[in-house]
Structure 1
């Protein structure tokens, strides 16, 4: 059974428990972001009536996603007129940037109902249209021209699965771009570095105040 209470409006929750603000690396974009890390985590657990939930990833502008967004805005030829997948989109900062840079369409996918609500709220705040998909797209191929994947290489087994799938998409001709601030399981031996950015981050989440996020492309 879906843990989401039938009486809970996810979009209303997102708007009530976040503030619209611009991520430091992409001031052109406004996102519904958490003001305090612990507070929104507790509010999410309370709303769902469950303890021990993972962090609400959608409520933060992670360094890898910001790097991808910055790269799309600065290099619009990458996405102009293209069908784009924003994989594990979080709040969809990179997907929104792709639309602002001229993408024909963007599909933003996530596993979390709150994240889908945040994506819809963020798209509205930036006057762009994103298609959303709740579910796991790893292993599928709907013919996307460009795939954006920010901050996805956290854990060993999922990283190997996701990396293999993204490599397959690149082999068939998709442009696959990775935004990553130095996660442990990034498959650098299969990637070419395109850009690097200094990104201010939240110490509560990253245990530091700055991350050096890179944009990579699968060979």
Structure 2
């Protein structure tokens, strides 16, 4: 059922697109329905390229920062265990799934894209866990203990989210490969880890170095 539904979403952008189950190299414990590059037997046509740029199916790729944050949570479950966790801009849902696997009291995937919420739910079922869904940050539930977010600062207009996240939960776990300096002293860098978007989009090497930050305790 999920394969057909996600394929339908993907084909709104790429007519020959389809998903397949794979394990991203940066967090191999988690299985995800992601874009299957095997369908691309040649370069994208002009029309396909335009459609991908206009309506990118972010959820169909597992970005480097998402992989790194998901694996870091699995390796350090005490940051989310027993907590109510919301993952902002969840895309494939990999971080929400990792939080559930790590013992979160509740893990919530938050994304404004209905296709992303379908992907998050499908990927949760694929990994044998349950997650909650939230279709907009303004509709988030009360009582959050932890906010997670990966690569959401690429747009300068999103920078104020750093303060918003800290005001919304006692702990924020943030992964980012775009900004070398956050400009918010409330966040402390924990580590830097290298990873590649899955399937690989051959991005610039600088975008493969992911920094993890912690705000709160």
Same-fold status (TM-score > 0.5):
yes
1:204 is paired with a residue of what secondary structure? coil
CA distance in 2, matches of 1:125, 1:36: 20
Secondary structure of the corresponding residue to residue 137 of structure 1: helix
Contact 1:14 1:117 in 2 (8 A): no
State the secondary structure of the residue aligned to 2:137.
coil
Does the 8 A contact of 1:203 with 1:209 survive in 2? no
Report what 1:166 is aligned to. 165
Match of 2:24 in 1: 23
Give the direction of change, closer, same or farther, for the CA distance of 1:91–1:113 in structure 2 (3 Å limit): same
In structure 1, distance between residues paired with 2:82 and 2:54: 38
* Corresponding residue number in structure 1 for 2:146: 146
Where structure 1 has 5 or more consecutive residues not aligned to the other structure, the ranges are 1-8
Closer, same or farther: CA 57–104 of 1 in aligned 2, 3 Å: same
Rate the CA distance shift 1:110–1:38 in 2: closer, same or farther, 3 A: farther
Pick closer, same or farther for the CA change 1:151–1:75 going to 2, 3 Å. same
Query: After the TM superposition, which segments of 4 or more aligned residues of structure 1 sit over 6 Å from their partners?
Result: none
Query: Residues 32 and 92 of structure 2 are in contact (CA less than 8 Å); yes or no, is this contact kept in structure 1?
Result: yes
Q: How does the TM-score come out when normalised to structure 1?
A: 0.79
Question: 1:6 is matched with which residue?
Answer: none
Unaligned runs of at least 5 residues, structure 2: 11-16
Residue 198 (1) aligns with residue 194 (2): yes
Following the alignment from structure 1 to structure 2, what is the Cα–Cα distance between the partners of residues 11 and 200?
23
Alpha-carbon distance change, 11 to 208 in structure 1, aligned in 2, over 3 angstroms: same
Following superposition, the deviation at residue 182 of structure 1 comes to: 3.1
Q: Deviations over 1:91-147 (max 9, x none)?
A: 111111111111111111101111011111111110110111222338x66111111
Match of 1:55, SS state, is coil
Shift of 1:194: 1.3
TM-score normalised by the chain length of structure 2: 0.79
State the match for 1:186 in structure 2. Answer: 182
Cα deviation for residue 197 of structure 1 reads 1.2
Q: How many residues align?
A: 199
Cα contact 2:148–2:173 (8 A) shared by 1: yes
Q: Deviations over 1:21-44 (max 9, x none)?
A: 1111111000111123996xx8xx
> What's the C-alpha RMSD, in Å, of the aligned pairs?
2.9
Is the 8 Å Cα contact of residues 7 and 19 (structure 2) preserved in structure 1? no
- Equivalence for 2:211: 214
Matched, 1:135 2:132: no
